[in-house]
Amino acid sequence: MTSKNTRDRDDDDVWDGRERRRSESDRRLYQELPPYYPQYYQAPPPPPATDQKNVALSTLTLQQFGTIVLVLGSVLFGGFNYVSNLTREIDTQRTNFEQFKSQIGKEIDNIQGSVKDLKRITDETKIHQQTSQDAIERRIQDLDTSVNQLYQKVSAK
Protein backbone atom coordinates (compact mmCIF):
# COMPACT_ATOMS: atom_id res chain seq x y z
CA MET A 1 0.00 0.00 0.00
CA THR A 2 1.23 3.47 -0.76
CA SER A 3 1.77 5.96 1.98
CA LYS A 4 0.49 9.52 1.99
CA ASN A 5 3.96 10.88 1.33
CA THR A 6 4.47 9.01 -1.94
CA ARG A 7 0.99 9.34 -3.30
CA ASP A 8 0.52 11.28 -6.57
CA ARG A 9 4.09 12.48 -6.63
CA ASP A 10 4.65 14.97 -9.42
CA ASP A 11 7.14 17.75 -10.05
CA ASP A 12 4.55 20.50 -9.65
CA ASP A 13 2.45 18.77 -7.01
CA VAL A 14 4.06 17.44 -3.82
CA TRP A 15 2.14 16.08 -0.84
CA ASP A 16 3.53 17.16 2.49
CA GLY A 17 0.86 15.61 4.69
CA ARG A 18 -1.04 18.79 5.48
CA GLU A 19 -1.90 20.62 2.31
CA ARG A 20 -1.37 20.28 -1.32
CA ARG A 21 1.06 22.67 -2.88
CA ARG A 22 0.42 23.71 -6.41
CA SER A 23 2.19 25.71 -8.99
CA GLU A 24 1.18 29.32 -9.50
CA SER A 25 -0.62 28.47 -12.76
CA ASP A 26 -2.58 25.71 -11.02
CA ARG A 27 -3.60 28.09 -8.26
CA ARG A 28 -5.02 30.49 -10.76
CA LEU A 29 -6.94 27.69 -12.46
CA TYR A 30 -8.16 26.02 -9.29
CA GLN A 31 -9.11 28.22 -6.39
CA GLU A 32 -9.01 26.59 -3.01
CA LEU A 33 -12.46 25.41 -1.93
CA PRO A 34 -13.70 26.14 1.59
CA PRO A 35 -14.26 23.19 3.90
CA TYR A 36 -17.33 21.14 3.07
CA TYR A 37 -20.51 22.94 4.07
CA PRO A 38 -23.71 22.23 2.11
CA GLN A 39 -24.51 25.91 1.61
CA TYR A 40 -21.28 26.30 -0.38
CA TYR A 41 -22.22 23.52 -2.77
CA GLN A 42 -25.66 24.62 -3.81
CA ALA A 43 -26.31 24.91 -7.51
CA PRO A 44 -25.60 28.38 -8.84
CA PRO A 45 -28.60 30.38 -9.99
CA PRO A 46 -29.35 30.14 -13.71
CA PRO A 47 -27.76 32.84 -15.81
CA PRO A 48 -30.04 35.74 -16.66
CA ALA A 49 -31.71 35.17 -20.00
CA THR A 50 -32.21 37.83 -22.62
CA ASP A 51 -35.71 36.77 -23.59
CA GLN A 52 -38.48 34.49 -22.34
CA LYS A 53 -37.70 31.63 -24.74
CA ASN A 54 -34.16 31.34 -23.45
CA VAL A 55 -35.39 31.38 -19.85
CA ALA A 56 -37.65 28.40 -20.48
CA LEU A 57 -35.02 26.46 -22.42
CA SER A 58 -32.13 27.27 -20.13
CA THR A 59 -33.94 25.79 -17.13
CA LEU A 60 -34.51 22.42 -18.85
CA THR A 61 -32.19 19.60 -18.00
CA LEU A 62 -31.18 17.07 -20.61
CA GLN A 63 -33.42 14.46 -19.00
CA GLN A 64 -36.40 16.84 -18.98
CA PHE A 65 -35.73 17.75 -22.59
CA GLY A 66 -35.54 14.05 -23.50
CA THR A 67 -38.78 13.38 -21.65
CA ILE A 68 -40.50 16.23 -23.48
CA VAL A 69 -39.21 14.94 -26.82
CA LEU A 70 -40.43 11.42 -26.01
CA VAL A 71 -43.86 12.67 -24.93
CA LEU A 72 -44.23 14.87 -28.00
CA GLY A 73 -43.05 12.02 -30.21
CA SER A 74 -45.57 9.69 -28.60
CA VAL A 75 -48.35 12.23 -29.02
CA LEU A 76 -47.44 12.85 -32.64
CA PHE A 77 -47.12 9.14 -33.37
CA GLY A 78 -50.43 8.48 -31.60
CA GLY A 79 -52.03 11.32 -33.53
CA PHE A 80 -50.62 9.91 -36.76
CA ASN A 81 -52.02 6.47 -35.90
CA TYR A 82 -55.38 8.02 -34.99
CA VAL A 83 -55.53 9.94 -38.26
CA SER A 84 -54.44 6.85 -40.18
CA ASN A 85 -57.12 4.71 -38.53
CA LEU A 86 -59.70 7.45 -39.04
CA THR A 87 -58.79 7.74 -42.72
CA ARG A 88 -59.04 3.96 -43.11
CA GLU A 89 -62.45 3.98 -41.40
CA ILE A 90 -63.66 6.83 -43.63
CA ASP A 91 -62.53 4.92 -46.73
CA THR A 92 -64.35 1.81 -45.50
CA GLN A 93 -67.52 3.79 -44.80
CA ARG A 94 -67.26 5.49 -48.20
CA THR A 95 -66.94 2.09 -49.92
CA ASN A 96 -69.90 0.73 -47.95
CA PHE A 97 -71.93 3.82 -48.83
CA GLU A 98 -71.08 3.47 -52.54
CA GLN A 99 -72.17 -0.19 -52.47
CA PHE A 100 -75.35 0.74 -50.61
CA LYS A 101 -76.06 3.55 -53.07
CA SER A 102 -75.51 1.17 -56.00
CA GLN A 103 -77.85 -1.40 -54.45
CA ILE A 104 -80.51 1.25 -53.78
CA GLY A 105 -80.16 2.43 -57.40
CA LYS A 106 -80.78 -1.13 -58.63
CA GLU A 107 -83.82 -1.45 -56.37
CA ILE A 108 -85.19 1.89 -57.63
CA ASP A 109 -84.69 0.72 -61.23
CA ASN A 110 -86.55 -2.52 -60.44
CA ILE A 111 -89.43 -0.59 -58.84
CA GLN A 112 -89.61 1.82 -61.78
CA GLY A 113 -89.70 -1.17 -64.16
CA SER A 114 -92.51 -2.72 -62.12
CA VAL A 115 -94.46 0.56 -62.18
CA LYS A 116 -94.09 0.76 -65.98
CA ASP A 117 -95.31 -2.84 -66.28
CA LEU A 118 -98.32 -2.07 -64.06
CA LYS A 119 -99.18 1.02 -66.15
CA ARG A 120 -98.95 -1.01 -69.34
CA ILE A 121 -101.15 -3.76 -67.91
CA THR A 122 -103.63 -1.18 -66.62
CA ASP A 123 -103.76 0.52 -70.03
CA GLU A 124 -104.25 -2.84 -71.77
CA THR A 125 -107.00 -3.73 -69.30
CA LYS A 126 -108.74 -0.39 -69.90
CA ILE A 127 -108.55 -0.92 -73.66
CA HIS A 128 -109.87 -4.47 -73.31
CA GLN A 129 -112.67 -3.27 -71.01
CA GLN A 130 -113.56 -0.50 -73.48
CA THR A 131 -113.64 -2.89 -76.43
CA SER A 132 -115.67 -5.37 -74.39
CA GLN A 133 -118.10 -2.65 -73.35
CA ASP A 134 -118.38 -1.44 -76.95
CA ALA A 135 -119.02 -5.01 -78.10
CA ILE A 136 -121.66 -5.49 -75.41
CA GLU A 137 -123.38 -2.20 -76.34
CA ARG A 138 -123.37 -3.19 -80.04
CA ARG A 139 -124.81 -6.57 -79.17
CA ILE A 140 -127.51 -4.89 -77.02
CA GLN A 141 -128.36 -2.55 -79.90
CA ASP A 142 -128.49 -5.51 -82.31
CA LEU A 143 -130.78 -7.39 -79.95
CA ASP A 144 -132.93 -4.28 -79.43
CA THR A 145 -133.20 -3.84 -83.15
CA SER A 146 -134.15 -7.51 -83.57
CA VAL A 147 -136.75 -7.28 -80.80
CA ASN A 148 -138.24 -4.14 -82.39
CA GLN A 149 -138.40 -5.84 -85.77
CA LEU A 150 -140.11 -8.89 -84.27
CA TYR A 151 -142.54 -6.67 -82.39
CA GLN A 152 -143.43 -4.81 -85.57
CA LYS A 153 -143.94 -8.09 -87.42
CA VAL A 154 -146.15 -9.42 -84.66
CA SER A 155 -148.09 -6.14 -84.49
CA ALA A 156 -148.56 -6.09 -88.23
CA LYS A 157 -150.21 -9.43 -88.30
User: Count of domains in the chain?
Assistant: 1
pLDDT at residue 1 greater than cutoff 50: no
Let me know if residue 68 belongs to a domain.
Answer: no
CA–CA dist 130, 123 (Å, integer): 10
Residue 12 within any structural domain of the chain: yes
Measured in whole angstroms, the distance separating CA 74 from the mean position of its chain's CA atoms is 17
In a domain, 2, yes or no: yes
Judge whether 42 lies within some domain: no
pTM of the model: 0.36
81 part of a folded domain: no
* Per-residue exposure over 131-152, b if at least 16 CB sit within 10 Å of its own CB, e if not: eeeeeeeeeeeeeeeeeeeeee
Report pLDDT digits (tens) over 15-59: 555 455 556 656 555 555 555 555 555 666 666 666 555 555 556
Residue 123 has pLDDT above 70, yes or no: yes
The tens digit of pLDDT for each residue in 101-121 reads 999 999 999 999 999 999 999
pLDDT digits (tens, 9 = 90+) for 64-99: 888 888 888 888 888 888 899 999 999 999 999 999
In a domain, 13, yes or no: yes
Instruction: Answer yes or no: is 130 within a domain.
Output: no
21 inside domain: yes
Q: What is the 8-class DSSP label of residue 15?
A: E
Residue 3, domain extent: 1-35
